Amino acid sequence: MELATKKIVLRYHWVFRIREGWGIFHQSLLGKIGLVLLLLFALMALCSYIPPRLDPMYDPMTGVDPKISHSTGPSMRHWLGTDFMGRDILSQLLAGARIAFMVGVSAAFMSIFLGTAIGMIAGYVGRIMDTLLMRLADMIMVMPTLLVVLILSSLFGQLNIWTIVLIIALFRWPGVSRVIRSQTLSLKQRPFIEAARVAGASHLRIIFRHIMPNVLPLSFLYMTFRVTSAIIIEAALAFLGFGDPGTVSWGMMLQWVWKTGHMFKAPYWLLPPGICISLITLSFYMLGRAMDEVLDPRLRREQEAG
Amino acid sequence: MELRRYIIRRLVQIAIIFFVILTVLFMLFRLAPGDPVSRMVDPDMTPEEAQILISELGLDQPLWMQYLYYLRNFFMGRFGNSFHYGQPVVTIIANRLPNTILLFTTSIILSAFVGVFLGKIASWHKGGKVDAWMTIGALATHTVFLPWLALIMIWVFAYKLGWFPITGMISEEVWLNPEAGIVAKSLDVLHHMALPLATLFLIHFGSYLLIMRSSMLETLKEDYILTARAKGLSEKVIRNHHAAPNAALPVVTSVGLSLAFSINGGALTETVFTWPGIGRELVFSVSHNDYPLAQASFLLIAIVVLVSNLVVDVLYAYLDPRIRY
């Protein structure tokens, strides 16, 4: 009985927090625009499974229209036209949405996982561990990720998409870990951590049960910003010709336009991928700023005062 | 005096970080699949030439000796010859560095100043139409995909309108003309620089604008602003002379924090506009398997990043008298 009430209270607590957060989020115009745009992109990613099923010539990578062997403008058969070898641009664009989400979300998830873990360890353990980890973070933070991946791909040959995601994650954690570390440092001084320690909780239990729930919202805030940077890095890499040759990403499409010399001739091909990359980063960015307001009461008050 | 000690401490830190980068790069070159010798020795060399280079780089020695050779060669500026150009890598790098620094520093300084100025205006009109449009504009330009923006700029301003050259840094007819003076030559470079500069500017100024705007709004709540108002100073004086200089400090910090981002952007811009800088050289050498050039360009970019970080930190300490290290 007692346990049951406790559970209800806990659930109410979470529901309440989410509803309160949604209320604030709802007032933010930027957040709403961002969310709507992201839902549209998600729809695009889902739709990417349709064209290849209609006809094999709509396959984004291998499907070539048998009647077309050069780039053509929009038509009924190909709504956005075709690329230099007769592949359908619309289905490439849809497939690109899928890749962008996949790259962005998985790289962001890995990097905030790493950043949160390292930040909590540095903040909680302190001393030499803290110094070492934070110096490492400083060092990685100043490295331009794109150029690091370039050097790695020159040494290790063509990288596949998951290796690229992994490298991006390995280089994008320091920002998160700094924030989580300072949050952990201030949490460590709070009485409830002291109480847990006196009650005999192990270090691991304190970290997972008491510190982690308090830093996770911050980590998730950083996740949206990491998504944008991962998408941009992958796109730039593909644009320069170092992407995974087996995937059709928006950066890859731009690389094809650029390298085949169609940029002055085929605006129907040059415009869509660039607009998509820019809009998806913009919408994740707007979402991040709106979530910032939800999680940071200081910003909220400023908004209310204005 | 304090500042000098701080600078010395930071220099030592930079030296350590750079040493670590140097070591990691050495290990990566040995860990990578394939033969390390073939990575440093030009396939077009005669066996005798190759032998000389191998012994100069110490590639026939045990691994730890190779590492010592590598360090020594680095400090003596011996990076071998570029496979593609056939010239010593140092010559090429020394040739490209000024071009990168010119484009990079001009774009950062320009976008920081304009960002601060516009951010100030946006905060004056907080909540109004000007503010809303500026915020939206800043967000939109800041998140545009840079290489695509560069292509669009070329398409519109160089190809359609023909106002600017499509690529490159100089036109040969100006530079080979013995009668062209320094003014004509500089104007020629400026003409070529306009589009890459505009691209980098558009990408960067937005984030500075947003930071300046919110920092300005924070600063206007401070007590010393109230004091200034109580003294009867005009709003304009308060904003321009009391609030703005303090509010601009976070912009300096953010210039430092976004340096890595700017360097990535610089390399992309140089590549699309074929601006003969270090970033383009790195991209080019990586796609042509020109390992000696790739290695040296990467190390040089690492130095540029570290030194610019130091410059930004020192500038911050100099601008904010409250900070004493």
Residue to test with chain A: of B136, B143, B290, B305, most A Cβ within 10 A:
B143
Residue A277 contacts B, CB cutoff 8 Å: yes
pLDDT tier at A301, thresholds 50, 70, 90: very low
pLDDT tier at A79, thresholds 50, 70, 90: confident
- List CB contacts (< 8 A) between A278 and chain B: 140, 143-145, 148
List the pLDDT tens digit at each of the 325 positions of chain B.
Answer: 577 888 888 888 888 888 888 898 888 888 877 777 777 777 777 788 778 877 777 777 787 888 888 888 888 877 777 888 878 888 888 888 899 989 988 999 999 999 999 999 898 888 788 888 898 899 889 889 999 999 999 899 888 888 888 887 777 777 777 777 778 778 888 888 889 999 999 999 998 999 999 888 888 888 888 888 898 888 888 888 888 888 888 888 888 878 888 888 889 999 999 888 898 999 988 888 888 888 888 888 888 888 888 888 888 877 777 665 5
- Whether residue A150 and residue B306 make contact (CB cut-off 8 A), yes or no, is no
Bigger pLDDT: B150 vs A292: B150
Note the pLDDT tens digit of each residue in A227-270: 988 999 999 999 998 888 888 889 999 998 888 888 888 888 88
pTM of the model: 0.86
Is the pLDDT assigned to residue A302 strictly greater than 50? no
- Rounded Cα distance between B7 and B70, Å, is 28
B229: three-class secondary structure by DSSP = helix
Classify burial at A191, counting beta carbons within 10 Å of its beta carbon; exposed 0-12, middle 13-18, buried 19 or more. exposed
Distances (CA, A) of B294 to A153, A168, B280, B287: 11, 20, 10, 9
Residue A100 contacts B, CB cutoff 8 Å: no
Helix residue ranges per DSSP H, B60-181:
63-75, 89-124, 129-143, 146-153, 172-175
Q: Mean pLDDT, to the nearest integer, of A55-59?
A: 76
Q: How confident is the model at residue A170, as a pLDDT? A: 92
Q: How confident is the model at residue B25, as a pLDDT? A: 87
Residue A258 contacts residue A278 (beta carbons within 8 Å):
no
- Rounded Cα distance between B205 and B168, Å, is 24
Residue ranges covered by each domain of chain B: 2-75, 94-319
Q: Nearest CA to A148 among A250, A236, A231?
A: A236
Q: Mean pLDDT, to the nearest integer, of A155-179?
A: 88
Assigned architecture for domain B94-319: Orthogonal Bundle (1.10)
- Whether residue B268 and residue A278 make contact (CB cut-off 8 A), yes or no, is no
Residue to test with chain B: of A30, A151, A168, A229, most B Cβ within 10 A:
A151
Q: Which single residue is written with the structure tokens 């001393």?
A: A127
Listed by number, the residues of chain A in 153-172 with a beta carbon closer than 8 Å to a beta carbon of chain B are 153-157
The residues facing B81 across adjacent strands are B88
Q: Nearest CA to B209 among B148, B275, B100, B136?
A: B136
Q: How confident is the model at residue A216, as a pLDDT? A: 86
B159, B263, B294 member nearest A154 (Cβ): B294
Mean pLDDT of chain A: 83
Q: Can you read off the two tokens belonging to residue A20?
A: 């309160």
Listed by number, the residues of chain A in 37-66 with a beta carbon closer than 8 Å to a beta carbon of chain B are none
Residue A243 contacts B, CB cutoff 8 Å: no
Q: Mean pLDDT, to the nearest integer, of A90-102?
A: 90
Residue to test with chain A: of B124, B264, B285, most A Cβ within 10 A:
B264
Q: How confident is the model at residue B106, as a pLDDT? A: 92
Note the pLDDT tens digit of each residue in B120-141: 989 888 878 888 889 889 988 9
Q: How confident is the model at residue A1, as a pLDDT? A: 45
Bigger pLDDT: B300 vs A294: B300
pLDDT tier at A305, thresholds 50, 70, 90: very low
Is the pLDDT assigned to residue A304 strictly greater than 70? no
Q: How confident is the model at residue A279, as a pLDDT? A: 93
Classify burial at A213, counting beta carbons within 10 Å of its beta carbon; exposed 0-12, middle 13-18, buried 19 or more. exposed
Search chain B and give the residue with CA nearest A265. B155
Classify burial at A132, counting beta carbons within 10 Å of its beta carbon; exposed 0-12, middle 13-18, buried 19 or more. exposed
Residue B21 contacts residue B299 (beta carbons within 8 Å):
yes
Give chain A's domains with CATH numbers.
37-296 (1.10.3720.10)
